Structure 1
Amino acid sequence: MKKLLPTSTAGSLPKPSWLAEPETLWSPWKLHDETLVEGKQDALRLALQEQQQAGIDIVSDGEQTRQHFVTTFIEHLSGVDFEKRETVRIRDRYDASVPTVVGAVTRQKPVFVEDAKFLRQLTHQPIKWALPGPMTMIDTLHDVHYKSREKLAWEFAKILNQEAHELEAAGVDIIQFDEPAFNVFFDEVNDWGVATLERAIEGLKCETAVHICYGYGIKANTDWKKTLGSEWRQYEEAFPKLQKSSIDIISLECHNSHVPMELMELIRGKKVMVGAIDVASHIIETPEQVAQTLRQALQFVDADKLYPCTNCGMAPLPRQVARGKLQALSAGAEIVRRELTHSIL
């Protein structure tokens, strides 16, 4: 029998201090060559162990083997020049120095497949693997070749589909596409954003998810959130399209966000990863706070389709805080699980 309210994380967990600078997003590696490969595998083992000890049901690699959730994937593709950098505005929120698309983008070899195989060997639990979504990928680049955001997104969707099929073959149970850009570029989401996502999941038999969040708890994101007013209704734009799409699971930011819970009615029928852990705060939630967020979500999501989760990745947090939050997520889910089981009985 499938477990009710299976818990998972949105993606990243803090890296150990011997691998990269703690509490820093996208910090450079401290190891090199063979020791880096070994160090990443050790960190992956630790991330898995932390999730297991906290009682997380659907585990991931904690993104230990990648420096950045988008560019680490792009680094392995041809057609992108990492020496030729330009400053661009990311998601209309902050400036970043990004690589340039100088030719046709292609994938010469698998990017994360070996890492996924390594994780698969370590556990019998369901595993989830995160990939960047096509729209978020194009928003993290300067393009002088295609000169069209849509054309480049379709090319990336093709490449992501190749990677996803190999991850599925490596034993990944859920492939998640990270699309924070879905909360910003509403016309594009409508015109081709969801369509390119459909292309990325074409032919997959494993479960698929899209993670649409308001971002890590970094200053650029928290400042932006302050401008969104008392109600964050951005999800309203993408939800009707996603509800009709083939994506199985939609991952959302709920706890301490200003997202009106009733918006989830627009994706009724889909499985929903309900973010019940705030990644922008060092305060560790109590199990009861987690339970309360889940109870609210249950008004709009059927119990067999609700997956308690974190709002976003936890890479910038101190390790002990992330550990505490994982434990709270498990304990809060268990409270609601018991309530649901008792009401059935």
Structure 2
Amino acid sequence: MVKSSVLGYPRIGADREWKKALEAFWSGKLEESAFHSQLQEIRLNHLRKQQEKGIDFISVNDFSYYDHVLDTATMFGIVPQRFAYEGGVVPLSLYYGIARGTKDATASEMTKWFNTNYHYIVPELDGAVPTVTENRPLIAYREAKEKLGIEGKPVILGPLTFLKLSKGYDVSETDAWLERLLPLYVQVLQELALEGVEWVQIDEPILVTKLREADLERVKTIYSTFATSVPKLNIMLQTYFESVENYSDIVALPVKGIGLDFVHGLSGNIASIKELGFPAEKVLGAGVIDGRGIWKASLREKLSLLQVLTRLVTADQLIVQSSCSLLHVPVTVQHEAKLLPELKGALAFADEKLDELVLLAKGISFGEAEIADELEQCESAIQALKQSGERNRNDIQQAVAAIRVQEPKRNRPFVERHLAQQNKWQLPLFPTTTIGSFPQSAEVRKARQQWRKGEWNNEQYADYIREQIDIWIKLQEEIGLDVLVHGEFERTDMVEFFGEKLAGFAFTQYGWVQSYGSRCVKPPIIFGDVAFEEAMTVEETKYAQSKTTRPVKGMLTGPITIMNWSFVRDDISRELIAYQLAYALRQEVEALEQAGIGMIQVDEPAVREGLPLKEEDQAEYLSWAVKAFRMTTCTVQDTTQIHTHMCYCEFHDMIDSIEAMDADVISIETSRSHGELIHSFEVNTYELGIGLGVYDIHSPRVPRVEEMTSMIDRALHVLDPKLFWINPDCGLKTRGYEETVDSLRNMVEATEIARAKHSVSLGFNS
């Protein structure tokens, strides 16, 4: 019988038990021993669920206390030098210090995990002396076997991917680092083999990207070394998120199994197998169930795909599995009581995907007749949503078809707009602002809950929001910020807030996924045609502007970010979804402008994460992503200043596209990357307004004035001082009151120091 496998399961729990335990521990409300006990129970529950569902190969070591890349680094004793690590097992205080920062040391950089919305902690190799501090996969394997009788499949991040995702070493040192790491991997694998482990999953998603010849040789070295060192251990070399590059080289590696993504890499992987075949002595891990999407799979289509594969490999060679870890989807649809029946019936979260895998393994082993009822129920559910009115709005489809053939652009070029805007606003040198949100205290969240539960009426809630706006408008003025924001106290999430006010969206009650650390998000579901219904942000922004003579920015989330941070329908292209969103948001931009708001920020932090992994597909994506942004913002007056914001991505390879968005001001995160982004501007010119975030808002520490002054000085070596803005690197929603105020005061002080240095030479009044 064909076996089933899962590459990883969500960590957070159906009710975010994991997140709550982490935050209780961080706040000192939970002792460390109790913390370990709670996380163990969560972990075992996840394994038990997969066992009961009938999954054959259950992953272990996919669970994490924060991030699996950080786990790999600390398992090998790779700790940034600034933390004064002295060797041995990395204690929790240090583990979390690397991720979140401490009073004396900044956190490690955080960036996107390939093209997903999950963030990993970037390992820093500089100065590290790697060693095996503890065998995490072995510990996880023993726990599953001893507690639940599960013969688990340990998951390990592969050496090449780990190196490629790390920083703090020169490319010329890659082989030297590989020589240091390989013996450590071998030690881990040998200990697993001695324990009796049958299968190990080694994740190498880097193999779906374009590799240099030297990297291919390194892959061969890695897996030849493993084959020689642990010959009896079955290794499943796992790829995901796209089709594998250099297929013939990869399938020739001396491993027992190759895992391929037959969802996001379907066409490429199928074509490779058809043209080049698949080794008869190897197992094919066929990732046919989407580990990143939430839609019910068409079981008939998946069975047809598996039948195609069984003509290319034997059934004995086949394992039916998820396309990637289920980390990227919510836990279960079971508790969703408020969704439209036709929508709920078409959804499959992690637990439902387990059922799909088991059904497919059964169907391909014993024939479609064995799962005939399930096949019929599945197709009926999919068709019910396809035929719904929400997916067939002719008015929206026709309007978007009309504007998508136009070339969206502002009336005048930036140079002319900048002069008009400066004449209007009379901003000082190095204008200061924030990214948008201010702390969402427990009181703010409680007020929102009272309103949502009906304990407060609309007027009571609106009064409370206005009180918060009053407080923070006054604080911003006292701190000395030049361009203010209203604080976004009425917003839960920067995507959810807009989705709740646009047609075509739906919202789950428990559909949480991990974004980074304990930060969980509940992505909206774009299931129908998107449409603007009424003004979404005008009331609060207009009220805030009435309380100050300084400009207040209107705050919107851009079309690409809303799309990339939502679960989107899979029956039309992402490009078309982006244009529907852009058309709806354009109407909100126009409403803000008509209400007298002359600065409007359209945030696009997620543009980079949507970039296809295949280089040949990237230009097309960037072209329509830029077009969608411009479609949103192109109709405003010349004096209306359009801002945007991007964070926690590598931007050096898309500077041209960022400039093509034609925003008057862009703010970009640069604090956690320790100014590395500035290097991009040392080799590329950028001639629009720009603010490089001068401190990290994801760390609770208050940055020193000197740190920010240093960042400003370096930026001014490569950017036009007359176009330079100063701001934090992201919104301040997750921070506390005192640290926010203290950090902003330090930021303004650093700005005043910079102005004193440069005002006279640049013709500004200090």
Q: TM-score, normalised by structure 1?
A: 0.85
* Matched-pair identity in %: 25
> Following TM superposition, by how much is the alpha carbon of 1:264 offset from its aligned partner in structure 2, in angstroms?
2.6
**For residues 168-183 of structure 1, what are the structure 2 equivalents within 5 Å?**
168-183=593-608
- In the aligned structure 2, how far is the partner of 1:320 from the partner of 1:155? 41
Instruction: Tell me the amino acid that sits aligned with residue 469 of structure 2.
Output: L
Select the residue among 44, 52, 64 that pairs with 2:469.
44
Q: Secondary structure at the match of 1:247?
A: coil
Contact 2:537 2:555 in 1 (8 A): no
Q: Which residue of 1 aligns with 2:759?
A: 341
Contact 2:694 2:708 in 1 (8 A): yes
Q: Which residue of 1 aligns with 2:647?
A: 213
> Following TM superposition, by how much is the alpha carbon of 1:87 offset from its aligned partner in structure 2, in angstroms?
6.5
Inter-CA distance 87–14: structure 2 relative to 1 (3 Å threshold): closer
Equivalent pairs, count: 321
Contact 1:47 1:64 in 2 (8 A): no
1:54-75 deviation line (CA, Å, top 9, x unaligned): 1111000111221111110110
1:191-242 deviation line (CA, Å, top 9, x unaligned): 311111010111112111220111xxxxxxxxxxxxxxxxx7x111221122
Q: Which residue of 1 aligns with 2:668?
A: 252
Q: Which residue of 1 aligns with 2:654?
A: 238
Q: Which residue of 2 aligns with 1:203?
A: 635
Structure of higher CA gyration radius: 2
- In the aligned structure 2, how far is the partner of 1:19 from the partner of 1:122? 20
Inter-CA distance 172–273: structure 2 relative to 1 (3 Å threshold): farther
Q: Which residue of 2 aligns with 1:295?
A: 713
Q: Which residue of 2 aligns with 1:123?
A: 548
Q: Which residue of 2 aligns with 1:321?
A: 739
Contact 2:564 2:610 in 1 (8 A): no
> Following TM superposition, by how much is the alpha carbon of 1:285 offset from its aligned partner in structure 2, in angstroms?
1.7
Identify which range, 254-263 or 176-185, moves more after superposition.
254-263
Inter-CA distance 81–344: structure 2 relative to 1 (3 Å threshold): closer
Contact 1:253 1:312 in 2 (8 A): yes
- In the aligned structure 1, how far is the partner of 2:685 from the partner of 2:661? 10
**Any gaps of 5 or more consecutive residues in structure 2?**
1-425, 612-617
Establish whether residue 143 from structure 1 lines up as the match of residue 568 from structure 2.
yes
Q: Which residue of 1 aligns with 2:587?
A: 162
Select the residue among 609, 612, 625 that pairs with 1:193.
625
Q: Secondary structure at the match of 1:260?
A: helix
Inter-CA distance 69–99: structure 2 relative to 1 (3 Å threshold): closer
Identify which range, 62-71 or 144-153, moves more after superposition.
144-153
- In the aligned structure 1, how far is the partner of 2:473 from the partner of 2:722? 25
Contact 1:210 1:249 in 2 (8 A): yes
> Following TM superposition, by how much is the alpha carbon of 1:29 offset from its aligned partner in structure 2, in angstroms?
3.4
Inter-CA distance 97–58: structure 2 relative to 1 (3 Å threshold): closer
Inter-CA distance 274–96: structure 2 relative to 1 (3 Å threshold): closer
Select the residue among 695, 700, 706 that pairs with 1:277.
695
Inter-CA distance 183–101: structure 2 relative to 1 (3 Å threshold): closer
1:118-168 deviation line (CA, Å, top 9, x unaligned): 111111101112211111101232333753211111000011111011112
Contact 1:212 1:251 in 2 (8 A): yes
Q: Secondary structure at the match of 2:623?
A: helix
Identify which range, 97-106 or 301-310, moves more after superposition.
97-106
| Higher strand content, 1 or 2 | 1
Inter-CA distance 308–95: structure 2 relative to 1 (3 Å threshold): closer
Inter-CA distance 62–9: structure 2 relative to 1 (3 Å threshold): same
Instruction: Tell me the amino acid that sits aligned with residue 717 of structure 2.
Output: Q
Inter-CA distance 72–211: structure 2 relative to 1 (3 Å threshold): same
Select the residue among 440, 443, 462 that pairs with 1:18.
443
Inter-CA distance 144–2: structure 2 relative to 1 (3 Å threshold): closer
Q: Secondary structure at the match of 2:591?
A: helix
Instruction: Tell me the amino acid that sits aligned with residue 198 of structure 1.
Output: R
Contact 2:505 2:530 in 1 (8 A): yes
Contact 2:524 2:567 in 1 (8 A): yes
- Structure with the bigger RCO (C-alpha within 8 Å, sep 6+) is 1
Cα RMSD (Å) of the superposition? 2.5
- In the aligned structure 1, how far is the partner of 2:445 from the partner of 2:512? 24
Inter-CA distance 6–64: structure 2 relative to 1 (3 Å threshold): same
> Following TM superposition, by how much is the alpha carbon of 1:89 offset from its aligned partner in structure 2, in angstroms?
8.1
Identify which range, 75-84 or 335-344, moves more after superposition.
75-84
Q: Which residue of 1 aligns with 2:678?
A: 261
Inter-CA distance 30–318: structure 2 relative to 1 (3 Å threshold): farther
Contact 2:430 2:755 in 1 (8 A): yes
- In the aligned structure 2, how far is the partner of 1:58 from the partner of 1:122? 13
Contact 1:146 1:152 in 2 (8 A): no
**Any gaps of 5 or more consecutive residues in structure 1?**
22-26, 215-231
Contact 1:173 1:207 in 2 (8 A): yes
Q: TM-score, normalised by structure 2?
A: 0.40
Q: Which residue of 2 aligns with 1:57?
A: 482
Inter-CA distance 96–43: structure 2 relative to 1 (3 Å threshold): closer
Q: Which residue of 2 aligns with 1:218?
A: none
